[in-house]
Chains A and B, each alone.
Chain A
Amino acid sequence: MMSNKLPKTIATFLALVACTLLLHAGGGWPQKKGEGYFKLYEWWVVADQHYTDRGLLDPNVTTGLYNTSIYAEYGMTSRLTLVGHIPFFSRATVNNVVSSTSGETLVRGDAINSVGDASFALKYGLTPGRRISVAPSLTLGLPIGISSGGRDNNLQTGDGEFNQLIQVDAGMGFLNSSKVPMYANIYVGFNNRTQGYSDEIRLGGEVGAMFMERRLTAVLRSDVVQSLYNGIASGRVTSTSTFANNTEYVSVGLEINYRLKGRWGVSAGMAGAVAGKVILAAPSYQAGLFFVLD
């Protein structure tokens, strides 16, 4: 058992999943033609425990993942929006493990730096101008990160697989009883994964409320990922690549966006899995600057 002097440990192979917790945005509303939303932000997670395949918490060596990313939405037409997410700098770390008895380093820590897995999506507005805005989208996940790096091949800035996510969002705006502008959005998606990963069903929703003459937006978000268990269990993979499969989770996240003067704004948020399997049990954080092209 690890001592209480420092937290125990975590595993990078779990971390990538958590990257998705804060990424989706836009909901059922495509951008208008020529308009867009661009965000430069830092996202990170550091964890010393994880949910096991039984959904219970176990310790692991402390691992961190840090992504500096650009997220962008741009209206190609009044209905078609191009969405891109590029973690142009991704750093994965794993701590040293030192014997509290002898003081000797048992396992040296390690780190890798690279680009992370990027994704691009096309979103199409089905019901422009309607009370409920519905928008299907197709997202392609590009495995340009490192799926098995570091001295022990246990560090990842990507999952090494090309995935295709088909998703439908539906959202609506409304005023609550206090006349506060609000919106709600729900989505359902199917994530087709390759390289032995199990496909996934994704569900989620968010509620946002706008304050201070709509300059401040608070968003409460929840996401659910359910594995279809049609891939290869991680332990049965014979290659040198190490990855976790059949990840599932229920996450909850909070995000605050504040529109500064003009088109600029700042954003900060956190999210974490409140239940899960084979995923980090630690909150992830993000902070950045966004630009609204309108």
Chain B
Amino acid sequence: MQKYISLTILCCIISALLPSCIGTDYLDDFVQPGVRITNPPDTIKIGTNYAFEAAYYNGVGIAETTSLIWSSSDSNVISINEDGLSFAENYGEATITVSTTDTPPYTAQKHVVIGDTTVLQPLIRTGTLISTSSYALEGDVILHYVGSQLVLELDDNYHTSDNLPGLYVYLTNNPSTNAGAFEIGPVEVFDGSHSYNLPESVQLFDYSHVLYYCAPFNVKVGECELQP
């Protein structure tokens, strides 16, 4: 019977070692590349400068340094140089365009008014959480400044499953993965309104989505696209 024992032990070792190697899963994490104006104003005070800022995000939602071209639809109203520094020449309205040097280029535009005061776009972004899995996730989201503090608020109608260990909330430009995302923290509230204070390093227009993700086990639960 020694041969049976040896054969079984051998089979056990083979079956344990061969298939138990660490394999590879491929994640389709493509997102449309694009450029985004990160400090859009609604109105610029006549006779003053305003420095536009923009960022380019690649096909996996990561910010990359690239050459940007700034232009104004009416330089008699507002002029802008190659660094995004504009000057409000006259009362009126115009569109600022920023483009990459790609062919075709990725572009972003902002319609601005030249007036008596500079008014930034309302410092609030909103959205609605939707589940992209079979786990519950719903509720309205507000990203806004309270004083100088950027706050992510979840509304009364927020609800998510408490059955996933290691559920985290992120800000990201790629809702397919938590790679490259800003980790806000673990989810500790599963129903009702609550909020997260964000650090100064995070700005209002840095990210396009709120992401709920079971980090230890790489299970995406859901997302919220922030508007505007």
Contact = CB atoms under 8 A, between A and B. Distances in A.
Nearest to B12: A42
A1 B7 contact: no
A52 B133 contact: yes
Given A57-B134, A154-B216, A235-B162, A42 B15 contact: yes
Among B9, B15, B179, residue most surrounded by chain A Cβ atoms (within 10 Å): B15
B22 A111 contact: yes
A89 interface: yes
A270 to B, nearest CB: 13
B11 A54 contact: no
A6 B161 contact: no
18 contacts: A6-B25, A6-B26, A7-B25, A44-B16, A61-B217, A68-B16, A94-B22, A95-B22, A96-B24, A96-B25, A99-B29, A99-B179, A107-B179, A153-B216, A244-B165, A278-B163, A287-B11, A289-B7
Contacts of B28: 1-3, 100-101
A246 B20 contact: no
The 7 closest A-B pairs by CB, nearest first: A154-B216, A289-B8, A109-B22, A56-B134, A11-B217, A235-B162, A52-B134
A58 B22 contact: no
B167 interface: yes
Contacts of A235: 161-165, 167, 187, 190
A13 B136 CA distance: 19
Interface in B35-61: 59-60
A233 B23 CA distance: 30
A90 to B, nearest CB: 9
A97 interface: yes
A242 interface: yes
A285 to B, nearest CB: 9
Contacts of A63: 217
Interface string B170-190: 000000110100000001101
Contacts of B21: 93
B76 interface: no
A58 B219 contact: yes
Interface in A34-78: 40-42, 44, 46, 48, 52-54, 56-64, 66, 68
